[in-house]
Amino acid sequence: MIKAIGRLSGFVALVGILTGGLVSSAKAAVCVSRTGTLAFRPVCRPLERTIGPDELGIATEGTLPPAYAGYNDGSYLPLLGYETPAFDLAIPEAGSYLITAKVNAINTGGNDRVSCRLYANYFRDQSVAQLPAGAEHTISFTLTDTFYAPGQIRLSCWGDGWQTYISWIKINAVKVDSISNDHLTVNPDHTPPIP
C-alpha cells in the first residue's frame, strides 16, 4: 500500500510529461521505499521496488483501449422518410463504450424540423432541430452502452419536409473499462455544488 498518495498524482503527471503521456520502463522508473515514499529515478535503489504503470493507473504503450469511428463526409443526402438514411458503425468486440456522434442538417426550402437518433444496443439518444429556410445546424449526440457481444451503432435521421439534407456524419465509440450511467436529479434549491 502506498502511503504517499498525495505525492502519487504529482509523479504520475511528471512521468506523463517526461514520456509524452505514455510510460515505458526503458525511459523511467517510479520507485517506492518500504515507508511508502515515492521517487522518480532511472533505476530504483536496492531497498526500493518499482511501481508499474498499472499501479499508477496510467496506460502503457500498446495497452490503450480500442476506438472505432465512421464517417460520411461531403455528400448531401436527402431525408427520404422515417429514419432514412441510416448509418451503421460495427463494434467488433464486447465491452463498455462511450459513444459520440454528429450530423450537419441543411435546409434548402421552407421551415423543417429534423430529428435524428443514435442507437447502441439497448440505449438511444435523440436530438431535434427546427430549421428555417436556408439554415444549417449541427446535431450532436452522446451515449454510453455495454455490448456483451459484437454489435453495431446506428445513426438515423428524418424530417418534415423534402428539402432538407444531412452531411458530415460522424460516429465515434471509445472502449472504456467500465461505465457508471446514473439518472440525474433536479436540484430543487438551486444551490451551488459543494467544492
Q: Determine how β-strand 95-107 pairs with β-strand 151-159.
A: unpaired
Residues 91 and 136 grouped into a single domain: yes
Residues 45 and 24 grouped into a single domain: yes
The whole-angstrom separation of Cα 130 and Cα 145 is 28
Residues 32 and 99 grouped into a single domain: no
Q: What is the pLDDT of residues 76-117, one digit of tens each?
A: 888 877 888 889 999 999 999 999 999 999 988 888 889 999
Residues 147 and 108 grouped into a single domain: yes
Residues 161 and 95 grouped into a single domain: yes
**∠ CA 163-169-174, rounded to 5°:** 155
Q: What is the pLDDT of residues 49-86, one digit of tens each?
A: 888 766 666 555 566 788 999 999 878 888 877 888 88
Residues 92 and 35 grouped into a single domain: no
Q: Is residue 194 part of a domain?
A: no
Q: Determine how β-strand 86-91 pairs with β-strand 123-131.
A: unpaired
What is the extent of the structural domain holding 168?
67-176
Q: Is residue 164 part of a domain?
A: yes
Q: Is residue 187 part of a domain?
A: no
Residues 123 and 169 grouped into a single domain: yes
* CA distance readout (Å), 161 to 37, 106, 139, 140: 67, 11, 17, 21
Domain count, the chain: 2
Q: pTM score > 0.85 for this model? A: no
The number of C-alpha atoms within 13 Å of 87 and in the hemisphere containing its C-beta is: 24
DSSP labels, 67-118:
EEEEEE-S--EE--BTTBSEEEEEE-S-EEEEEEEEEEEEE-SS-EEEEEEE
